[in-house]
Amino acid sequence: MTTTILVRRSLLVLPVVLSLLTAGCGGKSDDTTSASDWADGVCSAITTWTGSLQSAADSLKGGNISKDSLTSAADGVKSATDTFVGDVKGLGTPDTDGGKQAKESIDGLSDELKQDVQEMEDAVAGASDLSGVLTAVSKVSGTFVTMGNQVKSTFSELEKIDPKGELEDAFKQADSCQTLTSSGS
């Protein structure tokens, strides 16, 4: 019964995290990319990634949490994050005045998310009994919150390095960002 309550409370955080993640967009190659293509790629990568995070969280619903279900969810988050990192690091640099800084911000976010996943995996690997599983559930849900805050912070950085509003306009115009901004509202 305690496990079910903790899991439910932990999973209540997910909608907040997903709304933070959808507050911005992102991703494509090492060369210069048009601002609109770059924004479209970032948003596409975020959409795919958040969908995978939602699936991982959904797999933990129902109160039947075990080390195997946590491991499976963590593996799903790791795979999704690896894909996200590859996608956004491959986007290149947006062709804007602050393009290099924008790429550095997204690359920094990618590195942070990879560290978060490692911490999540370590917590799950250390779960050997019910108490360990409960601790891992808490760590996993906390990591979701951290990831959401990191995404939000990165998009705040992007706004500051985009004084002409070129990226903001690109995010507003990119088709893949429309789904994010409408679902995040």
Local confidence band at 15 (pLDDT 50, 70, 90 cut-offs): very low
Dihedral, CA atoms, 94, 100, 101, 106, nearest 10 degrees?
60
Q: Is the pLDDT of residue 3 over 60?
A: no
H or E, element range at 33: strand 32-33
Q: Is the pLDDT of residue 60 over 50?
A: yes
Q: How far, in Å, are 73, 77, 127, 169 from residue 133 at the CA level?
A: 13, 17, 5, 45
- Residue-level pLDDT at 182: 58
39 CB neighbour count, 10 Å cutoff: 32
Q: Is the pLDDT of residue 12 over 50?
A: no
Query: What is the pTM (predicted TM-score) of this model?
Result: 0.77
Please say whether the beta carbons of 52 and 76 come within 8 A. Answer: yes
- Residue-level pLDDT at 174: 85
- Domain positions in the chain are 12-21+29-183
Three-state DSSP at 64 gives coil
Q: How far, in Å, are 44, 59, 159, 166 from residue 24 at the CA level?
A: 11, 26, 10, 14
